[in-house]
Every structure is written in structure tokens, then in C-alpha cells.
Amino acid sequence: MFTFAAAVFFLIITPGPGVLSTAGVGASFGRRTGLRYVLGLFLGTNLVAAAVVSGLAALILADPRLRTLLFTVSFAYLVYLAFRIAFAGSKLAFIERATPPGVSGGVLLQIMNPKAYAVNTALYTGFGFMPASYWAEMLAKFMIMNAIWIPIHLLWLWAGIKVHQLNLTHRTHSLINRAMALSMLLVVLLAGSELL
């Protein structure tokens, strides 16, 4: 169980589309909108986890054509998001939109996020600690995962809000944006290679 919790911590805290966009929403739109977005990410990640645990994700991803199509759409969306991060300009507006993303934006990002599928598949199919009861283990894993997931995403939201409040130079803002975008692309590529 402790190995599972450690794996959850390290897989979730690393920069990926969910945490990077959380920081971006916090930096761009503030705490209230950021909390709504994190709620959407929370619902989305649990939907992905339920799809993995129930076998629905495996069933859908078993068809190579459908898997390739879904990955291509997901990858294109996340590359678009990384491009917007990289070229956000002198401010840390990781996501520039006329209207702030809400709960539905967070749900959509997680459903389209290949890292969410890779992480959930690795965590829920591995690290067994209750071999006598599959469903009791899955319930325990859901509880452990969410107990770690929530504070990590709130920490990234707080970091985005705080970074936005700093008086950084244009060059520093640009470097941070590009580093975040590159990190996000690398995570997407690594997660995608696991799914394909």
C-alpha cells in the first residue's frame, strides 16, 4: 500500500497537462476559476480511472484504429495547449481564452490526456496489495489516489497564482512558459508511447 501511495505521489506531482494547466488557470484567472477547473480535472481523472478499472478503456483502446485516432486527437489538442503556453508572451497566461475554463474544461482535458490513461493504468493494474478482493483494493486505491491527487493539484494552483503575482522580467516569463510547454510535450510523448 505504501509503495502504491509513493507511486501515486511521484506520478502525479511530475509536470503533465493536468498540473501544468492548473498552474496556468491559476495564473490567468485566479483562485475561484482555478478551483472550478481543478474540480473538473478531479471528475475527469476519476472518470478515466473508472474506465481503466472497469475495462472500458482497454476495450476501446484494443482497436488499433480507434486508439490511433483518439491518440491523434488528444495529441493535437495537447500540442495546441503547449504551443499556447510556449508563446504566451511576457505574462504567465498559460491558457489565453476569452472565457475562463470551468469544470467542463477540466473534465475534457483529463479525458483527452494520454498521461491520465497511462498513469491510471499503471497504478490500478499494478501495485497489488489486497489480492483476495479486487474491488476492495480498487476502492482503497481510489481513496489513496484522491487523498494525494487533491493537495498536489491545489499546490500547483497556488503556485500558478503566486508566480503570477511576482514581478518577473519578460525574459524570465518567456523561459518559464517554454520550459512548461516543453515539459508538457515530453510527458505527452512518453505517455502516448505507452498507449500506442
pLDDT at residue 194 in the model? 56
pLDDT tens digit string along 47-86? Answer: 999 999 999 888 887 888 887 887 787 777 777 766 766 6
Query: For residue 99, is pLDDT > 60?
Result: yes
HEC assignment per residue over the chain? CHHHHHHHHHHHHCCCHHHHHHHHHHHHHCHHHHHHHHHHHHHHHHHHHHHHHHCHHHHHHCCHHHHHHHHHHHHHHHHHHHHHHHCCCCCCCCCCCCCCCCHHHHHHHHHHCHHHHHHHHHHHHCCCCCCCCHHHHHHHHHHHHHHHHHHHHHHHHHHHHHHHHCCCCHHHHHHHHHHHHHHHHHHHHHHHHHHC
pLDDT at residue 1 in the model? 81
Task: List the end-to-end C-alpha distance of the chain, in Å, as a whole number.
Answer: 29
Q: Where are the domains of the chain?
A: 2-195
pLDDT at residue 92 in the model? 47
Residue corresponding to grid cell 502516448: 192
pLDDT at residue 13 in the model? 80
pLDDT tens digit string along 24-53? Answer: 778 777 789 899 999 999 999 999 999 999
Nearest to 84 by CA among 109, 47, 111, 50: 109
Note the pTM of the prediction, 2 decimals. Answer: 0.78
pLDDT tens digit string along 135-193? Answer: 999 999 999 999 999 999 999 999 988 877 777 777 876 777 677 777 767 766 765 66
CB-based contacts of 104, cutoff 8 Å, min separation 6 = 40
